[in-house]
Structures are given as C-alpha cells and as structure tokens.
Amino acid sequence: MSLDHRLNFVFKALTFVAALSILGIVMGILIVILMESIPALDRFGVLGFLGGRDWNYSKEIYGALRPLVGTAISTGIALLVAVPLSLGTAVFLTEICPHRLRGAIGAAIELLAAIPSIIYGMWGLFVLAPFLDEHFQPLAGKVLGSVPLIGGFFLTRSAGGVNLFTASLVLAVMIIPFITSIARDAFSQVPDVLKESSYALGATRWETVKKVISASAATAVGGGVIIAMGRALGETMAVAYVIGNRHAGLDSLFSPYTTITSVIANEFNEAGGIQLSSLFTLALVLFIANFVALGIGRRLVKGKYQ
C-alpha cells in the first residue's frame, strides 16, 4: 500500500472514531444516569417515584410528583404566553414588515435566544419578580381571587414575587425566539402562488394568514412548539432563582414551588446517597422527556418540506 493510501486510511479511521464518539457520549449519558438512578428506583419503584408526593430529607423519602407538576405547569403557562406572541411576531416578520427591516428585526429577536439563561434568571429575580409582585399579583388576586374553586390559585400568599408564575413568564420570554424563528421559516416556505391566489379572490391579509398560510404551515409550527416545549422542560438557570424551590402542596400560582431542573440545581451539590440517586432519576426523566419531545417536534417540522 502506498503512503497516500495508508494516510487516507488513518484519516478515515480518525473521522469514523470521532463520529462514533457522539453516539458514545449520548449512550454514555443515558447509561450512566440510569445506573446512578437505580438505588432510588429500587427503593421507591418507577411508579412510586414518579407518583410520590414526599420530598422528605429526614425520612429519606423522595418522590417526583411535585417537581413533575411544577415543570408541567410552568411549561404549560410559558407556552400559553409565548405561542401567541411568537406567532404574531412571525406574521409580522413575513407578511407586514418592510423587506428592508425583516433581516434586522428577525436577527434581533433571535439574539434573545443567545442571551445566557443565567442572565434571564437574574433579570427575572431582580426586575420581573418585584414588578409582578407589586403590579400584577394584587390585580390578579382582586379580579380572579373570589372565583369559586380556582380563585385560591390567584391569591398571593408570600411576598417577593418568587413563585411559579414568575418562573413561567421567564420561561415564556426564553422560548419566544425559538417558536418565532421556526414559525417564520414555516410561513415563508408557503408558496407565494397560494398567497396570491387568496389575494386574487379578494381575501384580506388576515384571512390569508388565517385560512391559507396557517393551514399550510400548521404541522411545522406544531413541531416548533413541541421543540420549544422540550427547551422549556430542560431550562435550569432561568428557573432556579425565581421558582423558590419549595417542596409543599401547590396552593397558588403565586407561591414558591419546585421543578425538575430547579431541584437538581439547588440540591445536587449537597446531596448524597438516596437523595442524590433521586436527583439522577429526575435527570433521567428530563433526558427522556426532552428526547421524546424533540423527536416528535423534529419530525413535524421537517415532514412537510423535505
């Protein structure tokens, strides 16, 4: 074999090993976290852990129910706030905004995604939390507080604005750029012929958006929302500050609560034994949930146009 042949073989082998390393790392993450979770899963059982209400240090009983509920609610509220805002922004960017400004405004909104999440957390703690505490929560309590059954969820029970609702809003701000950019791409891939046919029939811009563009882009936008959901599930630093990390029953949206990521961030370094294993199990749940959300979302986003 000539020198070139041998060099080429070595280079090929190198690239192959590098490519395999990615599979190795992802598999490694799954396996190692699974191994670390075994003591907790052994002690509490899968359903016992996922459905367990207690997070009790002295009794050494750990259950994931409250962090799971916290993550679900905060992600849900974040999507509820961010999806309409993002879709509106995407409509603006593709249908209304003058062409010259589209690039700049789109890039500015994408820069929101580049800001590190710890900065969002800090901003949430020092700016958003006091603002909501002072201006929004009293109003919400006054308007919705006396509604039977659910009114209690809108009463402020502890001061400072560090609570589930603030955490949800910080998350919402964080995922706006993701949904916006996926929705914008989906909207702008709708063939011009379709839009022009709609205008030719006398439809207004809004009717075109509502009936033509959204019908054509719905799947991809749905995928984008699911990807953003995965992002919100796994977001840590933006939430860790403003959630309050309190293991107790949920009595109000304006009470401190807990999420999967905030428990891990707040307790990991002080934990040992079964508590550490329980935190690893939470990480495992997060890893799996994120992969599932991403798998579904990616399929929807790509499905239509490739």
Residue type, 147: V
Which is nearer to another protein, 25 or 147 (by Cβ)?
25
Applying the rule CB under 8 A, the residues between 163 and 192 that interact with another protein are 173, 176-177, 180
Question: Which of 278, 172, 177, 297 lies closest to 225, judged by CA?
Answer: 297
Instruction: To the nearest 10°, report the CA torsion of 264, 270, 275, 277.
Output: 70
Which is nearer to another protein, 35 or 46 (by Cβ)?
35
Burial-class residue 95 by CB neighbours within 10 Å (0-12, 13-18, 19+): middle
- Beta carbons within 8 Å of 183's beta carbon, 6+ residues apart: 86, 87, 89, 90, 217, 220, 221, 224
Which is nearer to another protein, 70 or 177 (by Cβ)?
177
**Of positions 61, 72, 274, 294, contacts another protein by CB under 8 A:** 294
State yes or no: residue 114 binds another protein (CB under 8 A): yes
> Cβ 71 to another protein, closest distance in Å?
11
Residue type, 146: S
The whole-angstrom separation of Cα 301 and Cα 268 is 35
- Number of residues near another protein (by CB under 8 A): 91
Applying the rule CB under 8 A, the residues between 255 and 274 that interact with another protein are 261, 264-265, 268-269
Which is nearer to another protein, 125 or 164 (by Cβ)?
125
The whole-angstrom separation of Cα 115 and Cα 82 is 17
The whole-angstrom separation of Cα 199 and Cα 216 is 16
**Of positions 108, 147, 159, 201, contacts another protein by CB under 8 A:** 108
The whole-angstrom separation of Cα 28 and Cα 22 is 9
State yes or no: residue 18 binds another protein (CB under 8 A): yes
**Of positions 74, 75, 86, 245, contacts another protein by CB under 8 A:** 86
Question: Which of 225, 285, 227, 288 lies closest to 260, judged by CA?
Answer: 285
Residue type, 75: T
> Cβ 251 to another protein, closest distance in Å?
24
Whether the CB-CB separation of 211 and 264 falls below 8 Å is answered with: no
Applying the rule CB under 8 A, the residues between 117 and 156 that interact with another protein are 117-123, 125-127
190's tokens: 């709708």
The whole-angstrom separation of Cα 171 and Cα 276 is 26
> Cβ 200 to another protein, closest distance in Å?
16
State yes or no: residue 287 binds another protein (CB under 8 A): yes
**Of positions 79, 109, 243, 253, contacts another protein by CB under 8 A:** 109
Binding mask 217-256 for another protein (x = CB under 8 A): ----------x--xx-xxxxx--xx---------------
Applying the rule CB under 8 A, the residues between 192 and 211 that interact with another protein are 204-207, 209-210
Segment contacting another protein (CB under 8 A): 23-31, 58-66, 71-79, 137-145? 23-31
State yes or no: residue 216 binds another protein (CB under 8 A): no
**Of positions 64, 79, 87, 226, contacts another protein by CB under 8 A:** 87
State yes or no: residue 102 binds another protein (CB under 8 A): no
> Cβ 97 to another protein, closest distance in Å?
7
The whole-angstrom separation of Cα 229 and Cα 75 is 7
Burial-class residue 169 by CB neighbours within 10 Å (0-12, 13-18, 19+): buried
